[in-house]
Amino acid sequence: MYRDNPLTNISWHDFQKLTPEQKGPYFLREDRPYHVLTAQQFSRPMLERICDLTTKIRLIGKTKGGIHFLQDLLSEKRAMLYFVQPSTRTFLSFYAACQILGIAPAEVRDTTTSSEVKGESPEDTVRTFSSYFDLIIMRHPVGGFAERIAWLLSNTNRPIPLLNAGSGKDQHPTQALLDIYTLQRSFESHGGIERKRIAFVGDLGRGRTVRSLATLLLLYPGVRQYFVAPKELQIGDDIIAAIEKAGMEYEVCDDFEQVVPEVDAIYMTRIQDEWDASHESRLTDSNRFHFTAKHLAMLKPDAVLLHPLPRRKEIDVEVDSDPRAIYWRQVRNGMWVRAALMLTIFDRGVEIDRYYEDLVS
Amino acid sequence: MYRDNPLTNISWHDFQKLTPEQKGPYFLREDRPYHVLTAQQFSRPMLERICDLTTKIRLIGKTKGGIHFLQDLLSEKRAMLYFVQPSTRTFLSFYAACQILGIAPAEVRDTTTSSEVKGESPEDTVRTFSSYFDLIIMRHPVGGFAERIAWLLSNTNRPIPLLNAGSGKDQHPTQALLDIYTLQRSFESHGGIERKRIAFVGDLGRGRTVRSLATLLLLYPGVRQYFVAPKELQIGDDIIAAIEKAGMEYEVCDDFEQVVPEVDAIYMTRIQDEWDASHESRLTDSNRFHFTAKHLAMLKPDAVLLHPLPRRKEIDVEVDSDPRAIYWRQVRNGMWVRAALMLTIFDRGVEIDRYYEDLVS
Amino acid sequence: MYRDNPLTNISWHDFQKLTPEQKGPYFLREDRPYHVLTAQQFSRPMLERICDLTTKIRLIGKTKGGIHFLQDLLSEKRAMLYFVQPSTRTFLSFYAACQILGIAPAEVRDTTTSSEVKGESPEDTVRTFSSYFDLIIMRHPVGGFAERIAWLLSNTNRPIPLLNAGSGKDQHPTQALLDIYTLQRSFESHGGIERKRIAFVGDLGRGRTVRSLATLLLLYPGVRQYFVAPKELQIGDDIIAAIEKAGMEYEVCDDFEQVVPEVDAIYMTRIQDEWDASHESRLTDSNRFHFTAKHLAMLKPDAVLLHPLPRRKEIDVEVDSDPRAIYWRQVRNGMWVRAALMLTIFDRGVEIDRYYEDLVS
């Protein structure tokens, strides 16, 4: 395993200078994700494979026999969930995904109970985890820290895979994967994601979720992206540049109600005021970007409404019972996608294929 | 499962107006508890069944083979323990009960590591748990919150059972169940709980434990209840009214030493000063209501001494080694009762019956 | 089990007066450790047996079949990890060791979520754990507390083994065991630990790790110990007295660079300023006791460099990649040693022997 790790063939100094696209291949092994650090590391075939596995796992998990089969798959593994930023959803869905696959989970969430209070470096702390566990799932406030650790672990005599569950402001790749899966599942019976019109609404400048998903959507020809936000919270120029470079269509605007009837999917987001430098969120009249019961009437009959959650007031609770509101299904999809991803990392997808074939034949 | 859920047939507005007795049937499925929210939802046959299962599980758990049998029973389930109030005993006994039955547990205890810091509503937080887990066990400071959630989850497309592990000042139904089991086990060889004299001592006005147990004892004909407390901490008038309505005997007094020799069971409690509005506990001379070594001499030879724990000075440590002091056994009973309850919820009691029959035959 | 417990035959009053050496036998059952509380309780044959088991478990754990075999060994047990002092390494290595053996772990780490906030005594808190679990692993700031609890539990009707994972300033016996194992493994091919020269460097007065290991090394004839530290942080007189009493060689000095080329093992330690009474650590020029790349050149080719971790600046990160730097292997050894120790406590070593024989034959 050690010899095939591309991160052993490059110095940290050189690696840092690469673009996200250039870094991608360093996180793979034989065309499968090994480390999962960025949205950019996924190719279209990888996404298709993960979606395929996710659906199979989800269906296998509907019977007691299937659950026991899944629980045996990675029962020889132990995972460390190192979450030093607040998180319920991502943490618990990874935790549950571990339990589904028989991976024994352990967690460190509160740095006041850890050795960091004794002056240990973050690198040493994570290297300690790699001494006891077979996989590290990490959410960390420092952008780039996950990449640093992936490089570092790859250059020890006990390299193990690292899953980025959110780092700094930039990357949250597993959220992007579950969003892709949710879209694909929603559009399964009418042509898939390709050529769909997808709107992002809310705080687009600071939400790493939107940035990651917008990037992955470049892999689906014909998709037209709408970015609907007040000017000060609009999507970054780098994303627009990437869309243009890919030769795809997009629209940047701030008229929410005009966009609602036009699109096949609306992806609502929360104002991320925990990243506020100087209360800029409070200056924005964000009410104009809230989805309420009246918007349901404007929405296409087969359109879908997503939200990465947690929500505040962006979507009225009344909307929840409409069948086009799929954010609660999206939450549960996250658990299945993460299970599929861990199976892929450990190259056990083929066992899922085999079980599934027996199930449906 | 969804169609048979009575909570889908009533609006939250109407449900709220019901008395605890009227609410009870809404928490059941086919005469078994599904949600466990109040003491009032239990009938005498349900209590007998849970006690019967508890004893069987306890005995099955004495052998390695039996432990492995139990660990397989609910091994396809995952439970969320959501405890946002301090708790050691209740939390750990539920946790251990899950482990005994093979249920994979996950926990959220500290709201500072959760999405609530991002402004999520408590309802959304709990609905998230229902996306990943098959059972929610919840301790919450807000009275009625557990009922609200049970109603809410029942009206989603992923209803799952909810276990109240203590809510606000009013309900702690699993504590009442373990107390009933402890009393029944103690009186097994001399006539059961019926017609026994049972005294409650200490802080009776604010302890939800006493209120729940006093209510359940109404199901046992001939029981005479004693409420021994300083006036300002006496039992609520609603409980007295319920006893009178049931036509049962009771005594309200503050002379501890007179009651000790008269009764078959003494249930000691702690002054709950965490509920103090204005330090009223400090004004009370609670020493008069402490059980010390000298009271052992006054106690009937086959009487028993209970305490829900934690204790402060209500029972002297010296008393612990007397065989009538059964509060440590009571603690352990809690683990077995909670296992029995979870098996009942998932309708697996019959497998216990079968294994037990083979064991004793 | 209860009848054979030597701690039931002595009062707490009498027990307290014993020396560590005299207390040792009270923690055993049939020459095996039952409670693990001090370094002094281990005889040389016990150490040999634990090292032997550790190696076997480590090798069995290299295959999926072996991992499943190990996971079944203690799958009927549940462990409580009660850690009320900050710890990452010790906590996680015990946690992982439990998972390796199939022991279901539960944890209490933050006393603000526990019943202690309701005024419960520490003794009652731990006795509660013993009601639900089969083993308690405990780190506690109060010296002697673990012994008190071991005595207390032994005198209830549910005695269970207690593992000291660090208590106060004095004892950290499992760290000493993993250090012994690491030394033995390092010297396996050239004569074992006996007659080796072993230097301790850094904060020797307050590090319980050094005190425990120095004591265990008295069981290995011919070992010469070096204590290299500034005067104010030198090893305690009691340890020196014990070495002299054992008739073994030692050296006390503060010239680090003179010692480096002379010894077979260097055990670096961290300045433990969390124990500072009045900032005495700041007065010390501890730079003189740091191991940097230049010292690698002075070190014997087959010498080894250890550190209990966490480290600050005592060992330069550059040193990590030298094969003589074995502190990361030492970390991982800790997990295997703790697994071996728990198997020994529950008397299951013989199953390891049998599986191992099949494996190598």
Going by pLDDT thresholds of 50, 70 and 90, the confidence category of residue C222 is very high
Give the strand pairing for C162-167 and A78-83: unpaired
- Cα C120 to Cα B331: distance, rounded to the nearest angstrom: 14
Would you say C360 and C78 are in contact if contact means Cβ atoms under 8 Å apart? no
Task: Give buried/exposed letters for B194-203 (b at 16+ CB in 10 A, else e).
Answer: eebbbbbbbb
Per residue in B152-172, pLDDT (tens digit) is: 999 998 999 999 999 887 789
Sequence length of chain C is: 361
Token code pair at residue C243: 């070495």
Give CA–CA dist A309/A89, Å, rounded.
Answer: 8
Which residues of chain A make contact with C93, given a CB cutoff of 8 A?
131-132
Provide the β-strand partners of residue B83: B139
Q: What are the φ and ψ backbone dihedral angles of B200, each rounded to 5 degrees?
A: -105, 135
Instruction: Look at residue B170 in the predicted model and tell me its pLDDT.
Output: 77
DSSP-derived secondary structure for A120-165:
--HHHHHHHHHHH-SEEEEEESSTTHHHHHHHHHHTSSS---EEEE
Give pLDDT, residue B105: 98
Cβ contact (<8 Å) for A112 and C270?
no
Q: What whole-number distance in Å separates Cα of residue B304 and Cα of residue B199?
A: 11
pLDDT at residue C210 tops 60: yes
**pLDDT surpasses 50 at B1:** no
- Residue B234 DSSP label: P
**Residue A245 CB neighbours (<10 A):** 9
A216 with A246: CB under 8 angstroms? no
Q: Which of B139, B196, B224, B290 is catalytic?
A: B139
| C-alpha separations of B171 from B146, B165, B175, B177, C61 in Å | 10, 8, 9, 12, 48
The answer to whether B214 and B178 are in contact (CB under 8 A) is no
Q: CA–CA distance from C240 to each of A185, A212, C13 (Å)? A: 72, 62, 29
Which residues, including other chains, have CB under 8 Å from residue A97's CB and lie 6 or more apart?
A335, A336, A338, A339, A342
pTM exceeding the 0.90 threshold for the entire prediction: yes
Least confident of A264-278, B216-230, C214-228: A264-278
- Provide the token pair at B125: 């937080």
Which tokens sit at A130?
A: 């790699």
- B88 and C114 within 8 Å at the Cβ level: the answer is yes
For residue B64, the model assigns a pLDDT of 96
The pLDDT of C116-121, averaged and rounded, is 75
> Rounded mean pLDDT of B16-29?
94
Chain-chain contact of B108 with A89 (C-beta, under 8 angstroms): no
Of B89, B110, B310, the CB nearest to C113: B110
CB contact under 8 A, A309 and B125: no
Percent of chain B with pLDDT over 90: 81
Enclosing H/E stretch for B355? helix B349-360
Beta-bridge mates of residue B140:
B167
Q: How far apart are CA C312 and CA C290, in angstroms?
A: 10
Cα(A198)–Cα(A214) distance, rounded to whole angstroms?
9
Whether A302 and A236 have beta carbons less than 8 Å apart is answered as no
- Parallel, antiparallel, or unpaired for β B32-33 and B28-29? antiparallel
Q: Does the pLDDT at position C113 exceed 60? A: no
The residue of chain A with its CA nearest to that of C331 is A131
Query: Alpha-carbon distance B194 to B352, whole Å?
Result: 27
Q: Which amino acid is at C152?
A: L
- Report residue A324 as tokens: 């086009």
User: Position of tokens 């009959």?
Assistant: A301
CA–CA separation, A301 and A298 (whole Å): 9
Residue A145 carries which side chain, given as an amino acid letter? F
In the sheet with A304-306, reading across from the earlier edge strand, the strands are: A249-253, A224-228, A197-201, A265-268, A304-306
Assess contact for A159 and A6: CB atoms under 8 A.
no
pLDDT tens, position by position, C259-279: 999 999 999 998 766 555 566
Q: What does the H/E/C string look like for A307-328?
A: CCCCCCCCECHHHHHCCCECHH
Torsion angles phi and psi, residue A106, rounded to 5: -135, 155
pLDDT at B281: 56
Name the active-site residue from B29, B32, B89, B109. Answer: B89
Both tokens of B322, joined, read 């007397």
Q: What is the pLDDT of residue C271?
A: 75
* Among the listed residues A348, A54, A305, the one whose alpha carbon sits nearest the alpha carbon of residue A199: A305
Residue C76 to residue B93, Cβ atoms within 8 A:
no
- Closest chain B CA to residue C121: B312
End-to-end Cα distance, chain A: 35
Is C18 exposed, middle or buried, given 0-12, 13-18 or 19+ CB atoms closer than 10 A? Answer: middle
pLDDT at A281 (0 to 100): 56
- State residue C87's pLDDT score: 85
Q: Which amino acid is at C300?
A: K
- Tell me the mean pLDDT in the region C306-331: 96
What amino acid is encoded at C227 in this protein?
Answer: F
Pairing of strands C249-253, B197-201: unpaired
Chains that touch A (3 or more CB pairs under 8 A): B, C
361 residues of chain A, pLDDT tens digit each: 444 788 988 999 999 999 999 999 999 998 899 999 999 999 999 999 999 999 999 999 999 999 999 999 999 999 999 998 888 899 999 999 999 999 999 999 876 655 566 688 999 999 999 999 999 999 998 888 999 999 999 999 899 999 999 988 778 999 999 999 999 999 999 999 999 999 999 999 877 889 999 999 999 999 999 999 999 999 999 999 999 999 999 999 999 999 999 999 999 998 766 555 566 555 566 788 999 999 999 999 999 999 999 999 999 999 999 999 999 999 999 999 999 999 999 999 999 999 999 999 8
Bridge partners of residue C104, in order along the sequence: C78
Neighbour tally for C11: CB within 10 Å: 9
Positive or negative: CA dihedral B308, B314, B320, B324: negative
A305 contacts A127 by C-beta, under 8 angstroms: no
Asked whether B133 and B108 are in contact (CB, 8 A), the reply is no
DSSP conformation letters of C54-80: HHHHHHHTTSHHHHHHHHHHTTT-EEE
Q: Which chains touch B (3 or more CB pairs under 8 A)?
A: A, C
Q: How confident is the model at residue C169 (pLDDT cuts 50, 70, 90)?
A: confident
Cα–Cα dist C335/B271, whole Å: 44
Report yes or no: C213 and C269 within 8 Å, Cβ to Cβ: no
Mutation test of the interface with chain B: which of C124, C125, C155, C156, choosing the one with the most B Cβ atoms within 10 A? C124
Q: How many CB atoms lie within 10 A of CB A246?
A: 14
Nearest to A201 by CA among A239, A252, A261: A252
What number of H helices and E strands is found in chain B?
14, 11
**C116 to chain B: which residues are within 8 Å by CB?**
88
Residue range C109-115: mean pLDDT, rounded: 63
**What tokens appear for A261 in the block?**
């009837």
Residue C14 has pLDDT above 90, yes or no: yes
Type and span of the H or E element at C267: strand C265-268
Please report which helix (H) or strand (E) contains residue A342, including its range: helix A327-345
- Residue B147's DSSP bridge partners are none
Q: Is B172 a catalytic residue?
A: yes
C239 pLDDT tier (thresholds 50, 70, 90) = very high
- Kindly list the residues from chain B whose CB atom is less than 8 angstroms away from the CB atom of residue C158: 328, 332
Q: Are A299 and A323 in contact (CB under 8 A)?
A: no
Q: Which of A281-290, B119-128, B220-229, C66-75 has the lowest mean pLDDT?
A: A281-290
Residue whose structure tokens are 């086990």:
B185
- In chain C, the percentage of residues whose pLDDT exceeds 70 is 93
C273: nearest Cα among A114, A122, A119, A110: A119
Within 10 Å of residue A225's Cβ, how many Cβ atoms?
25
Nearest CA in chain A to B82: A88
CA distance B182 to B330: 6
pLDDT of A2: 43
Please identify which of the residues B38, B54, B90, B344 carries the catalytic annotation: B90
Residue B215 known to be catalytic: no
**CB-side exposure of A155: number of CA atoms within 13 Å?**
18
Which of B58, B81, B88 is the best residue to mutate to test the C interface, defined by the most C CB atoms within 10 Å of its own CB?
A: B88
Q: Which of C71, C86, C93 sits opposite A118 (nearest CB)?
A: C86
User: Interface pTM (ipTM) of the complex?
Assistant: 0.94
> Quick check: helix, strand or coil at residue B95?
helix
CB atoms within 10 A of CB A83: 23
The whole-angstrom separation of Cα A277 and Cα A275 is: 6
For residue B70, the model assigns a pLDDT of 98
Interface test with C, best of A12, A74, A115, A156 (most C CBs within 10 A): A115
Just list the catalytic residues of C: 89-90, 118, 139, 172
What's the mean per-residue pLDDT of chain B? Answer: 92
Cβ pairs A/C, distance under 8 A:
77
Catalytic member of B3, B64, B118, B231: B118
Distance CA B322, CA C101 (A): 37
Say whether B310 and C78 touch across the interface (CB within 8 A).
no
Q: Which of A96, A310, A317 sits opposite B118 (nearest CB)?
A: A310
Instruction: Please check whether residue B11 is in contact with residue B17, taking contact to mean a CB–CB distance below 8 angstroms.
Output: no
Amino acid at A130: S
Among B106-120, B136-150, B291-305, C290-304, the least confident range = B106-120
- C128 and B335 within 8 Å at the Cβ level: the answer is no
Nearest CA-CA partner of A299 in A253, A255, A262: A262
Non-local CB neighbours of A98 within 8 Å, separated by 6+ positions:
A79, A81, A104, A105, A342
Between CA A91 and CA B263 the distance in angstroms is: 51
> Active-site residue B49, yes or no?
no
